[in-house]
Amino acid sequence: MRGPHNIWRLIRTGATFERTGAMAVALEAMQVTPRLRFAARLLGWPFKWLGLQGDLALPPVTRALTALGPAYIKFGQILSTRPDIVGEELAMQLKYLQDQLPPFSTSVAKAMVEEELRLPVDEVFSSFSEPVAAASIAQVHRATLRSNGQDVAVKVLRPGIERAFRRDIDAFYFAARAIEFVSPASRRLRPLDVITHFEGVVLGELDLRLESSAASEFADNTSKDAGFQVPKVVWDLSGRSVMTLDWAEGINLADNAAIDAAGIDRRALGARVLQLFLSHALRDGFFHGDMHQGNLKVAANGNLIAYDFGIMGRIDEYTRRVYAEILMGFIGRDYRRVAEVHFEAGYVPPDRDIDEFARALRAVGEPIFGLEATRVSMARLLSYLFEVTERFGMETRTELILLQRTMVVVEGVARGLDPNINIWQVAKPVVETYVARNVGPLALIRDLGQTARVLARFGPRLPRLVEALLIAQAEAPPTINARPRLFALRLVCAAFAVFAMGILIGHFL
């Protein structure tokens, strides 16, 4: 399906933005240069009549994104958390996309629940409400279990959502290939890999069994985090298209007036959002990948409640250490170390000048320090970072795409609660704690212990391996070169020695 017919989808995207008036609003809000603004309008204007009309009651950009479909809505959800990029007014308009989209019929939702659970809705639930929230992929109903009177949230996928997403993703693939063909320099950003990553994330979100599993794992990992809670999954009432969780009441993090009225400290709440995200990413390597305001609430007791676990991120231990050292370098303004970490991790080609790279990183980091948080333009910062990556030949790291995107979203949420938040100061204690535990001599000893324990699993096989090699050596004809066997014998003996050392280290650890 990734053929030229997708040209129609892309043309209609531009035409819809032009017809709804979203093109001019978006370009103005993002402060696009006059030249690019003229080019975009020139490409969209001739096809204006082909654009979708959308809901006339909505503002232009929101109207265009909802008309175009779920993949575009996802993009709008991200921008809704970034008033520093799109402006306060547009960000407020886009918050509509988080959980206020038009719902589908409750009767259709009940039919889907019955089909998934193979039980009549009235037999399972004593009450089943109209939709209480509707987003791009699913909507949520409040229900009461007939068996014990417990209130639960029932999440039901939108009918035909998978087909709609695949249609959009096909168009994105076509656009990525076209970009690579027209601009070979863009290949270092690996647009096809980015779309592939996006496809995997989204298609995983369309199977609520995977989301239930993610919610369960996330709840286990964060069970001891103060001021944070994850609703419990009701496994016997969950499946591919239906997910049932404990009902958790709270105030939407976008509703500052209600948070203030409840007497909750928004500054402390904003800091907690950021610190919890960093803790989950660094400590667990498993984090919520869609932390916009629509997926976060604050309970009456001040606890932060997380919802919607369809997009979760996972990063390995090595990448976590690299990420932490980069953050720590920026926090400590040690740009030389930040540059070294990039080279050590292979993020920058080895033939580039490390001192020049450190100097470029200083130009990125220094404007952040010594300024009021409200004066730091994330749009300009990201623009300069893009120039730096292009200059030094850095490729897009697909394993970090979700982490970087979520960091942007989380920062937007934190700034929504506290416009004067200092991101670096808030992040510092979390990063310092992780670095102290996972980078340095103690971490090296722990790594050696883990390596030794892995080798120890092969301990029972070592005597037989040595015996087999000794027999083979004794029976080998003298005309055959024995050096390979001698090397193998020495290797096994060395492994045996490591095995013994591993037992000793493991005992003391």
Residue 468 within a domain: yes
Q: Which amino acid is at 50?
A: L
Residue 379 pLDDT: 46
Residue 17 pLDDT: 84
* 446 and 478, same domain (yes or no): yes
What is the token pair recorded at 107? 């009767």
Residue 1 within a domain: no
* 41 and 146, same domain (yes or no): no
For the chain, the farthest-separated pair of C-alpha atoms sits apart, in whole angstroms, at 91
Give the distance from CA 428 to its chain's centroid: 21
Query: Which portions of the chain are predicted below pLDDT 50?
Result: 379, 480, 503-509
* 109 and 57, same domain (yes or no): no
Residue 433 within a domain: yes
Catalytic annotation, residues: 290
* 379 and 422, same domain (yes or no): yes
Q: Are 135 and 294 in contact (CB under 8 A)?
A: yes
Q: Are 85 and 50 in contact (CB under 8 A)?
A: no
Residue 241 within a domain: yes
Residue 498 within a domain: yes
How far lies 335's CA from each of 277, 370, 379, in Å?
Answer: 24, 16, 21
* 341 and 236, same domain (yes or no): no
Burial level of 173, CB count in 10 A (0-12/13-18/19+)? buried
Residue 37 pLDDT: 65
Residue 447 pLDDT: 59
Give the distance from CA 59 to its chain's centroid: 28
**Measured distance CA(414)–CA(81) in Å, rounded:** 9
* 216 and 161, same domain (yes or no): yes
* 238 and 277, same domain (yes or no): no
Residue 304 pLDDT: 95
Containing domain of residue 305, as a range? 248-439
* 449 and 428, same domain (yes or no): no
Q: Are 347 and 397 in contact (CB under 8 A)?
A: yes
Residue 487 pLDDT: 55
* 168 and 207, same domain (yes or no): yes
Residue 369 within a domain: yes
Residue 365 pLDDT: 76
How far lies 131's CA from each of 134, 135, 208, 246, 363, in Å?
Answer: 7, 11, 18, 16, 49
Q: Which amino acid is at 457?
A: R
* 161 and 281, same domain (yes or no): no
* 341 and 385, same domain (yes or no): yes
Residue 127 pLDDT: 95
The number of distinct structural domains making up the chain is 4
> Against a cut of 0.75, is the pTM above it?
no
Residue 507 pLDDT: 47
* 77 and 197, same domain (yes or no): no
Q: Are 250 and 185 in contact (CB under 8 A)?
A: no
Residue pLDDT, tens place only, 11-62:
788 788 888 888 877 777 766 666 656 666 666 667 777 778 888 888 888 8
What is the token pair recorded at 323? 């990420």
How far lies 449's CA from each of 455, 458, 459, 507, in Å?
Answer: 10, 15, 15, 9
Residue 482 pLDDT: 53
